[in-house]
Chains A and B, each alone.
Chain A
Amino acid sequence: MSRLSRRRRRLPEAWRRPLAVVGGVIALTWLIVAVAAPLLAPYDPLAQELPRLAPPGPDHWFGTDQLGRDIFSRVLYGARVSIPLTLLLVVLSVLIGGLLGACAGYFGRWVDETVMRFADLVFAFPTVILAMVVAAALGASLTNAVLAVLVVAWPSYARVTRGLVMGMREREFVLSGRLLGFSAWRSLRLDVLPNVTGPILVLATLDIGTALLLLSGLSFLGLGAKPPSPEWGAMVSSGVEVFDSWWVATFPGLAILTVVLAFNFLGDTLRDALDPRTARAIKVRAL
């Protein structure tokens, strides 16, 4: 038990980086696929003209589905559906949650109370159940699924930003700015926001995975993308009907897994680079 070591030391750089490199390469590959899908895909993702339920082989690397569509092509095209929406979703959550959280932390009092009680309410609710209710109420469509995920995604940013801003508010350079007569908005924009971007970026990177899981989960439940669309969650869902043809569901699922994993590798490495206290605040919130 001499290994009960006392001090925490960082992993040697050489050991920590491979994870980030692997994550970065996978993420970049998927981004390229999303852009270049029409050039890369051997078949039309929607054309129902191939043999049905053909297992993976030289002609169809990932096989074909029950409607005679090439799954490899559909998986590639799926990147165009899921990845931009997921990124947009995270950007919007950061903007909305960050803004609300910053206001709550900066102005305190009733602004803080209102925003944070609302965030608590959302937090108490299991994400999938709340998103499901929202999506069902709005009507099943991919846009509404994005809105539904947005509803459950913003509070984590609000909480983290609020905490960081409240810590920042008492710092000297912010206080002196106030004393010099800068407006609240000015000091929020110039002094506070630049200092919270690092942690928020890490949280956002980790959240890309969560958002994609949730979004594809809603599609899987039939509350997101509709059938002809090559959305990965919906493709897994169609694989349920023919689950003995394992390839129909397996490959789109692997696509989701690799994208989420890539961003988690990146985010986890980035988090280690942050100072421990901020990292801990994020770790708890990133659930």
Chain B
Amino acid sequence: MSPTSAPGKAPAGGTAGRRAARPGVHRHPLTRFLVRRVATALLLAVGITLVTFVLTNLVPGDPATANLGQRALGDPALVAQWRAEHGLDEPLPKQYLLHLSGVLQGDLGTSQQSHRPVAEDLAEFVPATIELAGAAIVVSLILGVAFGVIAALRRDRLADQVLRVTSLIGISVPTFWLALVAFYIFFFRLQIAPGSGRLDPGMTPPPKVTGLHTVDAVLAGQWDVFASAAGHLALPALVLALYTIGLLTRFTRSAVLEVLGQDYVRAARAKGLPGRTILFRYVLRSALVPIITVAGLAFGSLLSGTVLVEAIFAWPGIGQYAYKSATALDLPAVMGVGLVVGAVYLVINLIVDVLYGVIDPRVRLS
């Protein structure tokens, strides 16, 4: 993907699977690789907290102004007390180090908004977003890959043209607007979609295991809860997925076309294998490697989308939490979100790398 970098230097993240065969590796390549990945993610998490810290401190916005009422702001003593309570009277570097040392002990600080430990807030909101974004990426992968394969096999024909235009529309629709329109049509007009939130009003969430209501409901065997959770999940997940479906359609198409031009596909045809076998065994297997790379990147854009989609569907996830804490300049909460993002980045990259190994024996065996 990128040109060879200077000797002894790793290419930027993402395509790490390919560096497995570097010479001069002492330790087991997998160990080395994992160490490097975790180090990158840690660096990233520290970088993210530092950036958010600097941003929220070196700029005009004042957390006190954002959090205290007009009357309290007129009283300097009250403001000072509030600042002291939240450690804002310490020098900045010390504030940051205090925060970091807290993080290492599992203490992410207390949200100035909810007055609860940030870790508790995150534990409550993160699963909702994982459920939403997870459903969206699954839908995107299934539909995007299917559409992309069809477009490639029907190249230059009507189906390809139609899919080209529709996938471009998919990546052009403003997510927040689509969410609103979908809500209006399917909830307000047609009344086939349930309202906002994760469950029907009055329904008790299933016993928490994973935090994903759909999964937990199945685990507990509560099928009515599952139906409700899945029903509430469907529309926001589809809205969120539209962009990534378009993206993956376009990308899969070009990946498949590229594989179709490979010698081994012609060799497979020369063996007289049926077309379906060639498609699934020969073509898709190879095309999956670049597709997985892009799907990993696309997950980031899904997280972006959640901020906008969660707002419309009143989905109590990390996107809304990030929005509320960012606008309130709730520093501990914002940094907590940063940590979550770093962790997600790490997990996604690990999944992508493991999948490389599963699909491609050259990665696995070298």
Query: Does A138 interact with chain B (Cβ within 8 Å)?
Result: yes
Contact of B275 among A1, A124, A140, A221 (CB under 8 A): A1
Query: Does A283 interact with chain B (Cβ within 8 Å)?
Result: yes
- Which residues of chain A are within 8 angstroms of B334 by Cβ–Cβ distance? 133
Query: Does B292 interact with chain A (Cβ within 8 Å)?
Result: no
What size tier do the contact residues of chain B reach?
35 or more
- Which residues of chain A are within 8 angstroms of B247 by Cβ–Cβ distance? 287
Chain A interface residues (CB < 8 Å from chain B): 1-9, 11-12, 15, 19, 108-109, 112, 116, 120-121, 123-129, 132-140, 159, 163, 166-167, 209, 213, 216-217, 220-223, 233, 236-237, 239-240, 243-244, 246, 249-250, 252-253, 256-257, 260-261, 264-265, 268, 280-281, 283-284, 287
A287 closest partner in B (C-beta): B297
Contact of B337 among A109, A129, A257 (CB under 8 A): A129
Query: Does B74 interact with chain A (Cβ within 8 Å)?
Result: no
| Contact between B341 and A125, CB atoms less than 8 A apart | yes
Minimal beta-carbon separation of B333 from chain A (angstroms): 11
Query: Does B20 interact with chain A (Cβ within 8 Å)?
Result: no
Query: Does B84 interact with chain A (Cβ within 8 Å)?
Result: no
Minimal beta-carbon separation of B98 from chain A (angstroms): 20
- Which residues of chain B are within 8 angstroms of A252 by Cβ–Cβ distance? 177
| Contact between B1 and A222, CB atoms less than 8 A apart | no
- Which residues of chain B are within 8 angstroms of A121 by Cβ–Cβ distance? 44, 47-48, 51
| Contact between B156 and A11, CB atoms less than 8 A apart | yes
- Which residues of chain A are within 8 angstroms of B345 by Cβ–Cβ distance? 124
Contact of A1 among B44, B183, B279, B338 (CB under 8 A): B279
B 112-129 binary contact with A (CB < 8 Å = 1; else 0): 000000000000000000
- Which residues of chain B are within 8 angstroms of A137 by Cβ–Cβ distance? 55-56, 59, 61, 326, 329
Contact of A264 among B51, B172, B305 (CB under 8 A): B172
Minimal beta-carbon separation of A138 from chain B (angstroms): 5
A125 closest partner in B (C-beta): B341
B 296-325 binary contact with A (CB < 8 Å = 1; else 0): 011011011101100110000001001100
A11 closest partner in B (C-beta): B156
B13 closest partner in A (C-beta): A120
| Contact between B307 and A132, CB atoms less than 8 A apart | yes
Minimal beta-carbon separation of B116 from chain A (angstroms): 20
| Contact between B323 and A260, CB atoms less than 8 A apart | no
The 6 listed contacts between A and B (C-beta, < 8 Å) are: A8-B261, A19-B165, A132-B323, A236-B177, A244-B184, A268-B164
Query: Does B2 interact with chain A (Cβ within 8 Å)?
Result: yes
List 16 additional contacts besides A138-B60, A249-B180; criterion CB under 8 Å: A4-B265, A124-B300, A126-B300, A136-B61, A167-B3, A223-B327, A236-B174, A243-B180, A243-B184, A253-B178, A257-B177, A264-B171, A264-B172, A268-B164, A281-B2, A287-B301
| Contact between A253 and B180, CB atoms less than 8 A apart | yes
Minimal beta-carbon separation of A62 from chain B (angstroms): 14
- Which residues of chain A are within 8 angstroms of B171 by Cβ–Cβ distance? 209, 264
- Which residues of chain B are within 8 angstroms of A123 by Cβ–Cβ distance? 300
Contact of A220 among B156, B176, B257, B265 (CB under 8 A): B176
Query: Does B293 interact with chain A (Cβ within 8 Å)?
Result: yes
- Cα distance, A236 to B176, chains bound together (Å): 8
Contact of B327 among A127, A136, A253 (CB under 8 A): A136
- Cα distance, A28 to B175, chains bound together (Å): 24
- Which residues of chain A are within 8 angstroms of B188 by Cβ–Cβ distance? 243-244
| Contact between B308 and A220, CB atoms less than 8 A apart | yes
B276 closest partner in A (C-beta): A1
| Contact between A265 and B168, CB atoms less than 8 A apart | yes
Query: Does B169 interact with chain A (Cβ within 8 Å)?
Result: yes
**Which secondary structure dominates where chain A touches chain B?**
helix
- Cα distance, A121 to B161, chains bound together (Å): 37
B161 closest partner in A (C-beta): A15
Query: Does B251 interact with chain A (Cβ within 8 Å)?
Result: yes
- Which residues of chain B are within 8 angstroms of A256 by Cβ–Cβ distance? 174, 177
Query: Does B36 interact with chain A (Cβ within 8 Å)?
Result: no
A113 closest partner in B (C-beta): B9
Contact of B60 among A139, A159, A281 (CB under 8 A): A139
Query: Does B224 interact with chain A (Cβ within 8 Å)?
Result: no
Minimal beta-carbon separation of A274 from chain B (angstroms): 12
| Contact between A8 and B257, CB atoms less than 8 A apart | yes
Contact of A128 among B165, B276, B278, B305 (CB under 8 A): B305
Minimal beta-carbon separation of B206 from chain A (angstroms): 28
B2 closest partner in A (C-beta): A163
Query: Does B193 interact with chain A (Cβ within 8 Å)?
Result: no
Given contacts A1-B276, A217-B174, A221-B308, contact A126 B254 (CB under 8 A): no
- Which residues of chain A are within 8 angstroms of B278 by Cβ–Cβ distance? 1, 4
Given contacts A15-B161, A127-B301, A287-B247, contact A217 B176 (CB under 8 A): yes
- Cα distance, A127 to B305, chains bound together (Å): 9
- Which residues of chain A are within 8 angstroms of B303 by Cβ–Cβ distance? 126, 129
Query: Does B139 interact with chain A (Cβ within 8 Å)?
Result: no
- Which residues of chain A are within 8 angstroms of B56 by Cβ–Cβ distance? 133, 137
- Which residues of chain A are within 8 angstroms of B143 by Cβ–Cβ distance? none
- Which residues of chain B are within 8 angstroms of A268 by Cβ–Cβ distance? 164, 168, 250
- Which residues of chain A are within 8 angstroms of B297 by Cβ–Cβ distance? 284, 287
| Contact between A108 and B2, CB atoms less than 8 A apart | no
Contact of A5 among B155, B176, B181, B338 (CB under 8 A): B155
| Contact between A236 and B180, CB atoms less than 8 A apart | yes
| Contact between A129 and B298, CB atoms less than 8 A apart | no
- Which residues of chain B are within 8 angstroms of A108 by Cβ–Cβ distance? 6
- Which residues of chain B are within 8 angstroms of A223 by Cβ–Cβ distance? 327
- Cα distance, A283 to B5, chains bound together (Å): 20
Contact of B326 among A136, A167, A236, A249 (CB under 8 A): A136
- Cα distance, A199 to B301, chains bound together (Å): 23
- Top 6 A-B residue pairs of the complex, sorted by shortest distance between their CB atoms: A1-B275, A253-B177, A128-B304, A126-B303, A136-B326, A126-B304
B 15-47 binary contact with A (CB < 8 Å = 1; else 0): 000000000000000000000000000001001
